[in-house]
């Protein structure tokens, strides 16, 4: 029979488990600090296991640097800096290029370790994190001998030694965003990966060795907040930080009155604006991509959906249908869409804010998917009937939780989108070109995506307005924070 209401045969076609093999990964049992081109044991630090958030099993022991360790790393960077800066841009670019190639060669291993250490789906690590990390090194390899072209022809000097602190959501990619422009411009660097996700940065240290990067140009000192404080208080010429707004404010206060440079890439509560004339099915995909990509652990996540009231019911219904199809579970399974929450602490923060949302009277819907017993998990969640004053509409949740607000007119959409302490990113969904550009111009956000969301490219500048920080990473604009212009 042709289409009928009662199917002749009916079955459930489940995808069989498709786990990415981790057998090829050769992690050490324990990692030292990477200082001056060598692995050195911590002097005043300690060792901490890095945990797989999907299983709560330890993966490897990692040395966390203490104050002396940080000082030693900064000294190594200081010693290496004059010779590194004296190299021609062309020669520096070759090293950066070599790192990019080695990331590509070890892409499979890096992807698996990124997924194991951070809980993100292997598909994302494989298709986004690692290729983009390589792309950033390739991009800045090209800028190394063209720095003045990025500065409108002005002469410049590298800062010197830069301290770089990166978050746990895109560990390798954020290390690439920081290191590639820094060393391309002639700086040397001390990078502190996040305490819950240090492993791919340590593999990147191995890659620096393989690339025969001169010792001391890149130093990697894992650690927690205390290590970060030590790095901020050390003898560096500039700090580049990506992380929470609260910590960023602390760093800015600590550096006030010093001659230490600073760029901050902080939190967000980015508005994803869907107009009634948008391609709604694709907008729904963009909403999903905007908030459930990397479990919502994305500083520019489209966590505030602003949808025009005339299509709000339709969009929310389509969105909910789509959310129910999300495959939540084993991050190493190639078919997983949403992986594990990065840490117990982050899970607790998400749960606390979601409880607040319920208490405030917003309507909560959470996908009824089966979650693994061990590990840190949070099912995709939607809040409707939200008022702009609710905390879930204002505060960054940094998890797979979407807040839905409605608007009536274009002016109201812009006003609501800008009504935030943050200004990192925004999305605009409309089939009308003029409207898209009008709205984009009026939004106070560092990135505005039109009819897409969470797309990244090394040629495009990324950074915030207001409490989302200052300074830009990526493209020609990403050169500026790593040089002092004459």
Partner 1 sequence: MLRRLPHVDRVGIEERAALLGKRSIKTTAKAQGIRLAVSMVDLTTLEGQDTPGKVRNLCAKGVCPDPHAPEVPSVAAICVYPALVPTAVAALQGTGVRTASVSTGFPSGQTSLAVKIGETEETVAAGAEEIDMVISREAFLSGDDARVQEEIVRVKEACGDAHLKVILETSELGSLDHVRHASMLAMEAGADFIKTSTGKSTSGATPEVTLVMLEAIRDFTQRTGRVVGMKAAGGVSNTKAALHRLVLAKETLGDEWLTPDRFRIGASSLLNDLLMQHAKLESGRYGRSEDFSTE
Q: Is 338 left (phi over 0), alpha (psi -120 to 50) or beta?
A: beta
Give just the sign of the alpha carbon dihedral 300, 381, 396, 225. Answer: negative
* The pair of three-digit structure tokens given for residue 12, joined into one six-digit string: 């459930």
Give the per-residue contact string, 273-312, with partner 1 (x = CB under 8 A; - = no). Answer: ----xxxxxxx-xx--------------------------
Nearest distance from C-beta of residue 320 to partner 1, angstroms:
12
- With binding defined as CB under 8 A, does residue 331 bind partner 1? no
Q: Which is nearer to partner 1, 8 or 441 (CB)?
A: 8
Q: Which residues pair with 264 in a beta bridge?
A: 241, 470
Give the per-residue contact string, 414-453, with partner 1 (x = CB under 8 A; - = no). Answer: -----------------x-------------------xx-
Nearest distance from C-beta of residue 400 to partner 1, angstroms:
18
- Which residues lie closer than 8 Å to 421 by C-beta, 6 or more apart? 245, 269, 394, 466, 467
The DSSP element (H or E) to which 184 belongs, if any, is helix 171-184
Give just the sign of the alpha carbon dihedral 113, 80, 458, 438. Answer: positive
* The pair of three-digit structure tokens given for residue 372, joined into one six-digit string: 């693994």
Give just the sign of the alpha carbon dihedral 410, 416, 418, 422. Answer: negative
Give the per-residue contact string, 102-141, with partner 1 (x = CB under 8 A; - = no). Answer: ---------------------x---x--------------
Nearest distance from C-beta of residue 452 to partner 1, angstroms:
7
- With binding defined as CB under 8 A, does residue 410 bind partner 1? no
- With binding defined as CB under 8 A, does residue 148 bind partner 1? no
Nearest distance from C-beta of residue 11 to partner 1, angstroms:
7
Nearest distance from C-beta of residue 302 to partner 1, angstroms:
14
Give the per-residue contact string, 5-44, with partner 1 (x = CB under 8 A; - = no). Answer: x-xxxxxxxxxx-x--------------------------
The span of 142-150, 164-172, 185-193, 272-280 binding partner 1 (CB under 8 A) equals: 272-280
Nearest distance from C-beta of residue 295 to partner 1, angstroms:
17
How many residues can be counted in the chain? Answer: 486
* The pair of three-digit structure tokens given for residue 217, joined into one six-digit string: 């140009």
Report the candidate in 325, 324, 272 with the shortest Cα–Cα distance to residue 302. 272
What are the CA-CA distances from residue 374 to residues 57, 185, 467 (Å)?
9, 45, 36
Residue of 41, 86, 325, 485 interacting with partner 1 (CB under 8 A): 325
Residue of 157, 209, 335, 410 interacting with partner 1 (CB under 8 A): 335
Contact call for residues 181 and 481 (beta carbons, < 8 A): yes
Nearest distance from C-beta of residue 13 to partner 1, angstroms:
5
* The pair of three-digit structure tokens given for residue 274, joined into one six-digit string: 């869907």
- With binding defined as CB under 8 A, does residue 373 bind partner 1? no
Residue positions annotated with a catalytic role = 265, 299
Q: Which is nearer to partner 1, 5 or 23 (CB)?
A: 5
CB crowding 215-229: b at 16 or more within 10 Å, else e: bbbbbbbbbbeebbb
Nearest distance from C-beta of residue 367 to partner 1, angstroms:
15
How far apart are the C-alpha atoms of 404 and 306, rounded to whole Å? 6
The span of 33-41, 45-53, 57-65, 271-279 binding partner 1 (CB under 8 A) equals: 271-279
The DSSP element (H or E) to which 82 belongs, if any, is helix 67-86
Q: Which is nearer to partner 1, 14 or 373 (CB)?
A: 14
Report the candidate in 157, 13, 20 with the shortest Cα–Cα distance to residue 85. 157
Q: Which is nearer to partner 1, 229 or 315 (CB)?
A: 315
- Which residues lie closer than 8 Å to 23 by C-beta, 6 or more apart? none
Report the candidate in 153, 236, 158, 154 with the shortest Cα–Cα distance to residue 192. 236
Give the binding-site size for partner 1 (rule: CB under 8 A).
Answer: 33
The span of 1-9, 46-54, 140-148, 265-273 binding partner 1 (CB under 8 A) equals: 1-9
| Interacting residue ranges for partner 1, rule: CB under 8 A | 1-5, 7-16, 18, 123, 127, 277-283, 285-286, 325, 334-335, 431, 451-452
């Amino acid at each position: 029979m042709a289409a009928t209401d009662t199917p002749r045969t009916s079955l459930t076609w489940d995808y069989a488990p498709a786990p990415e093999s981790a057998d090829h990964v050769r992690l050490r049992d324990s990692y030292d600090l990477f200082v001056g081109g060598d692995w050195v044991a911590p002097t005043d630090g300690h060792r901490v296991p890095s945990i797989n958030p999907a299983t709560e099993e330890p993966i490897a022991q990692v040395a966390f640097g203490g104050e002396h360790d940080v000082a030693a790393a900064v000294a190594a960077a200081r010693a290496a800096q004059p010779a590194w800066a004296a190299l021609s841009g062309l020669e520096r670019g070759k090293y950066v290029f070599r790192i990019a190639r080695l990331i590509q060669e070890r892409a499979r291993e890096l992807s698996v370790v990124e997924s194991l250490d951070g809980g993100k789906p292997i598909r994302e690590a494989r298709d986004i994190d690692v290729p983009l990390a390589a792309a950033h090194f390739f991009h800045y390899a090209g800028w190394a001998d063209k720095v003045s072209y990025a500065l409108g022809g002005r002469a410049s000097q590298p800062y010197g030694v830069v301290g770089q602190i990166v978050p746990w959501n895109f560990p390798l990619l954020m290390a690439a965003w920081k290191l590639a422009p820094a060393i391309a411009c002639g700086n040397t660097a001390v990078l502190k990966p996040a305490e819950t996700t240090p492993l791919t940065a340590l593999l990147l240290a191995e890659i620096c060795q393989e690339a025969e990067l001169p010792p001391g140009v890149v130093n990697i000192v894992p650690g927690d907040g205390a290590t970060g404080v030590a790095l901020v208080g050390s003898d560096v010429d500039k700090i580049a930080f990506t992380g929470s707004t609260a910590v960023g404010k602390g760093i800015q206060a600590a550096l006030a009155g010093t001659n230490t440079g600073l760029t901050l890439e902080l939190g967000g509560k980015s508005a994803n604006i869907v107009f009634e004339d948008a391609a709604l099915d694709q907008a729904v995909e963009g909403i999903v991509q905007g908030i459930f990509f990397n479990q919502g652990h994305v500083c520019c996540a489209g966590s505030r959906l602003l949808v025009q009231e005339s299509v709000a019911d339709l969009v929310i219904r389509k969105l909910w249908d789509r959310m129910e199809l999300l495959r939540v579970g084993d991050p190493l399974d190639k078919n997983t869409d949403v992986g594990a929450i990065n840490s117990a602490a982050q899970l607790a923060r998400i749960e606390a804010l979601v409880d607040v949302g319920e208490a405030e009277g917003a309507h909560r819907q959470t996908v009824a998917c089966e979650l693994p017993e061990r590990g840190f998990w949070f099912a995709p969640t939607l809040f409707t009937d939200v008022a702009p004053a609710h905390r879930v509409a204002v505060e960054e949740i940094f998890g797979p939780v979407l807040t839905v607000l409605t608007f009536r007119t274009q002016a109201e959409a812009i006003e609501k989108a800008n009504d935030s302490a943050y200004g990192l990113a925004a999305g605009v969904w409309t089939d009308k070109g003029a409207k898209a550009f009008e709205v984009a111009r009026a939004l106070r956000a560092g990135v505005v995506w039109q009819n897409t969301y969470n797309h990244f490219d090394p040629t495009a500048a990324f950074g915030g307005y207001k409490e989302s920080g200052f300074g830009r990473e990526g493209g020609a604009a990403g050169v500026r924070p790593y040089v002092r212009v004459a």
